[in-house]
Structures are given as structure tokens and as C-alpha cells.
């Protein structure tokens, strides 16, 4: 049996150690978190979300652009007075800021020959306050109070789509999703009763393959 000299033994040990280190580095790199590009946008800036998605890659955002035109704190009564078209009436006492009202402008450049209109998944788009210990979602029942077209087609306001070559503006309120309660003899969303004190937020429009975030400061 051949004998290893001390020099060869040391060289072999170094080679094995380097191979082990290389294997560890490969394993770490293989299992390292994927770095997603993050792009911040300002209010009034048009965001091209073509091909990005918030939850699943079948959201069909091809050709879609989003502009957040305005942001303000709003009370339930203010929102109802300004935008409701379903017969809803203001409720006594609900005149304090309870949620964030974002003015969205959607624009579609999809081909008119495309059989699918595509759209935006509103269910998972979140608004994160600067303090970062909670998040807010679109108040879909309140959206429906102001969108006769969505009510007409039986939409639950989970997602929105518009015709190719068109644009559409709508108000989307963001607040707490915390159930309902009886108030002034009516069952209403707890979100309408909350006191919104945050004024700076990040709106997460997409998570992959690019994370588009709109920096929000309420007027």
C-alpha cells in the first residue's frame, strides 16, 4: 500500500478542505433568498406593471399602467357623500378619519385583439404604514358603494379590468379588515369606525418579478 508523505497528506487535506468550503458556498448560494428588485414611485407617477403580479403569475397585468393620483384620509360619511351611488346615506357620528382614500387611474394598452381584458388583483395589494407593524387592505364593500358598473356585473371587487385602449379612474379606500358590529341600529364594517392616524404609507402594487411600491403621504 502506498504511503502518503507528510507534504502530500497536507496538500490532500487542503484540497479536501477547499472542496468542502466550495460545497458549502454553493449550498449557501443555492438556498439564499432571491433578491427581488424594488422600485419606488411617487404619487402622480405612472407605473408600468406589465407582467408583474402581487400573488400569482396568472393575474394578466400585460399592458396595464397604474397612477396613484391623490391620497387623503377620509371618514365614512365623506366617502359616502362624495362617491356613493347605491343609495347609501351618511351615518351619524362617522365624520372622523377612518381610512385612506386613494385615487387610482388605470390605463390599458392591451391589444384589442386579446380575448382577455386582464386586470389587477386588488385582494392582496396592501398599504403599509410607516410604522410597519400592521397593514391595510382595500375596503371592497365600500368600493362597491361607489362603482355602479361593478355592482351591475355582480363583482365582489376582488379584481378590476378595463377595456384595451381605455383608462378609468376610481377611489379605493384602504383600512382595517376587522369584521362588523351594530352601530346606530345598523350592522356596519368596523373599518368605518376606526380612527386612522397614520399619514405616511407604502402601497405594494406588485411583488414579483419587480416589487413596485408607491410612496404615499396623505394631504
Residue 28: inside a domain, yes or no?
Answer: no
Residue 144: inside a domain, yes or no?
Answer: yes
pLDDT at 9: 36
Residue 2: inside a domain, yes or no?
Answer: no
pLDDT at 25: 47
Residue 15: inside a domain, yes or no?
Answer: no
Residue 204: inside a domain, yes or no?
Answer: yes
CA nearest to 126, candidates 112, 138, 108: 138
Number of domains composing the chain = 1
Low-confidence ranges of the chain (pLDDT < 70): 1-32
Residue 20: inside a domain, yes or no?
Answer: no
Q: Distance (Å, rounded) from C-alpha 213 to C-alpha 219?
A: 19
Domain that holds residue 95: 38-217
pLDDT at 31: 63
CA distances for 18 relative to 13, 130, 138, 176, 196, angstroms: 9, 46, 53, 54, 57
Residue 165: inside a domain, yes or no?
Answer: yes
pLDDT at 19: 45
Residue 209: inside a domain, yes or no?
Answer: yes
Amino acid at each position: 500500500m502506498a504511503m502518503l508523505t507528510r507534504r502530500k497528506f497536507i496538500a490532500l487535506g487542503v484540497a479536501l478542505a477547499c472542496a468542502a468550503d466550495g460545497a458549502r458556498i454553493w449550498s449557501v448560494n443555492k438556498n439564499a433568498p432571491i433578491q427581488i428588485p424594488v422600485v419606488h414611485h411617487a404619487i402622480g407617477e405612472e407605473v408600468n406593471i406589465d407582467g408583474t403580479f402581487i400573488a400569482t403569475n396568472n393575474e394578466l397585468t400585460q399592458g396595464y399602467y397604474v397612477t396613484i393620483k391623490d391620497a387623503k384620509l377620509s371618514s365614512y360619511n365623506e366617502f359616502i357623500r362624495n362617491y356613493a351611488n347605491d343609495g347609501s346615506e351618511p351615518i351619524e357620528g362617522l365624520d372622523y378619519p377612518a381610512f385612506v382614500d386613494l385615487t387610482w387611474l388605470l390605463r390599458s394598452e392591451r391589444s384589442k385583439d386579446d380575448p382577455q381584458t386582464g386586470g389587477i388583483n386588488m385582494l392582496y395589494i396592501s398599504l403599509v404604514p410607516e410604522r410597519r407593524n400592521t397593514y391595510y387592505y382595500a375596503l371592497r364593500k365600500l368600493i362597491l358603494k361607489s362603482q355602479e358598473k361593478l355592482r351591475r356585473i355582480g363583482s365582489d371587487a376582488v379584481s378590476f379590468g378595463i377595456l384595451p385602449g381605455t383608462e378609468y379612474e376610481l377611489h379605493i379606500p384602504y383600512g382595517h379588515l376587522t369584521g362588523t358590529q351594530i352601530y346606530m341600529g345598523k350592522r356596519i364594517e368596523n373599518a368605518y369606525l376606526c380612527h386612522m392616524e397614520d399619514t405616511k404609507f407604502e402601497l405594494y402594487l406588485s411583488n414579483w418579478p419587480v416589487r413596485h411600491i408607491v410612496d404615499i403621504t396623505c394631504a
